[in-house]
Structure 1
Amino acid sequence: MPRPSTSTIVSLATCAAVLAGLVITYALRPARLNALDFVLPLIACGALLARRRHPVAALIVVSVCAAVYYPFAGLDGPLVVLVFVALYTAADQGHLAAAVTTGGASLLAMGCGEAGGVRHMDDSLFVMIAGWVLAAIAFGGVTRNRRAYLEEARRHALDALRTKEEEARRRAGEERLRIARELHDVIGHNISMINVQAAAALHGLKKRPEDAEAALRTIKETSKETLRELRSTLGVLRQVDEDAPTGPAAGLARLDELVAASGLQVRTETSGPLDALPAEVDLAAVRIIREALTNVSRHAGTDQATLTISNTSGNIIICVEDDGPGSMYEEGSGYGIQGMRERAIALGGSLEAGPRPEGGFRVTARLPLSPPASS
């Protein structure tokens, strides 16, 4: 069996109190009763039970019953209490105009009746009733405003929570992308070099053992470097701070080692100071250079490349070119180029990659020395 609502309980309690008051009034001051003494209180109580679903109709019915009851019924009972509750409910449900109009009309009718020559109440009682009418309407308006305020606060809290969850999902997505990019840059290049050197070692194992020995030595050093950089990168990711120091593997200070590890014959040209760069710019530059040289080794069909790095107009400009006959990734495709472009854009820069008109492939990146603040 469904539990009755608070509103229903209040209505039943009010009706019971009013009917009990009528009985007590009759017991204290017996009077000659008529049909109105029984019919009008029952009608008014029935209307009050429907005050939440039909607040204006309930107010009108209760007010009419009270207006007829007091002049014509034989018993002067507390039926006016039902009017106060109906006025409060109408105001609480947003029908303030109906409550004010009905309350004002009731007070006006009472005043006119008292001015007719026969006094049914003294001035203090009239003022008290008028005060209760105004208090019922005002209290209903206050509770409605408070409920609206709480609902608005709840809605704002839900919106804030939803925004916070969306921001958390966005940051989690960015973090996953950053982790994938870091692991690709750290592992992809060195594993590619190991693959190239392993192929060279197998090819020269019987014919030129000295070349195979050199290739195996390179594989050993490259794998050691891979493990070291992987540990360094995982340490940074655990700190959830890309600006944290990444160990000696990061930075253009070790550009010669980076070029030598590529296994290519690279002609390097630099201009402008390349030391004391912002950590995130230094790291991004190394990652872009490494990926671009890896792509030359894997796709260009040549072992020669040109690397140009310049510090000019507040930007680090990196250009990696080759004149090989092989085909690089098509523009905008491939995780390598995509990762390089994402690194540049994250710092407020740009990256262009595509075939050269004279043949070969070119990667050009621009990295501002003053990256935008992260949100």
Structure 2
Amino acid sequence: MGDESGPGARRTWLISTAVAAVVAAIVSVAASFDGAGAVDHVLIVAGSLALAAHRVAPRAVLAVTTLCLSAYVLHAHPGTSAALPVVGAVHTAARTGRRGVAALASAAFLGAYLATGPTSQEIVERTLLLAGWFLCALVTGLADKNWQAYLRQTEQRALEAERTREEVARRRAGEERLRIARELHDSLTHSISIVKLQAGVAVHLARKRGDTVPPALLAIQEAGGEAMRELRATLDVLRDERPPGRIPDLVERARSAGLAVDLKVSGTEDALPVDIERAAYRIVQEALTNAARHAGPAEVAVRLEQVRPGHGPAELAITVDDDGRARPDRPCTAGTGLTGMRERVTALGGTLHTGPRDEGGFTVRARLPLGAP
């Protein structure tokens, strides 16, 4: 423990020094009544103040305290108060697992006290009392050590239980995703497939008869195919936590559908976390869908950038701007798409701003922290 540093270690050192000074003062006052001289007070102060280093070097403290106070006992023949620093050093040594050394120091100090030639009454009243003190110091030191070990084991068990709860929660979440995926597959996939099939049959029959194919049928057929692709992507996300696709591929599909999209990516060379990548894909997808539906003939700029604001954690900045028909004086009502986008960003601990731009058009700006939410 000699390499401890910081405010906590300094505070502990100050407390230990203050306690050692109090012990030295108590024993010195008691020694004054026993007629102790200057040499005795030096031995008392040296042995007591050594207790300040009990956390750093408990064996050295035990040796210094025992030698100084034993010398004081042999020189001045004091009362039992001289044992106070040694009892503290014995307790500290026993708490750190040095039971044999602590017992040896206790026996050495008692031997020094007996060497002063006390009377039979003093042997009974004082020596046995000192022996009891040292026995208590050894026992409490061992109990303190066992209690610390028990606390460490309890903390480890609590951490293990927390990890187990997290694993169970993740497993249950995965099972729930699979259940939802099965339900969606059994209900929506069948219905959408029937709609797409019937539209395809109607288109085929119209062309076979030489009739003009109604645009509504072609739109239904195309929308059915797109809905099937989106549903499959959603089911893949529910079955697996991987992102449904890459944003460049998403932008290319939007361009092929007639939307003018400019994509710029900067500062994201490192692989993004799976949840961040999935959320970014959905945000850009929803923003492009809204632009295609509501912006009219507009140009869309998509920007992805990894930024580090100030000294905070890194973030993924997502910006989707269009120059469409939206105006600040005509506020729009957030639909299901924007609401879901906000919920997704909030769940990751990020921020989202959506609304008309001052220069015209609509903007979507999201910040997603790349650390744990």
> TM-score, normalising length from structure 2?
0.49
Q: TM-score, normalised by structure 1?
A: 0.49
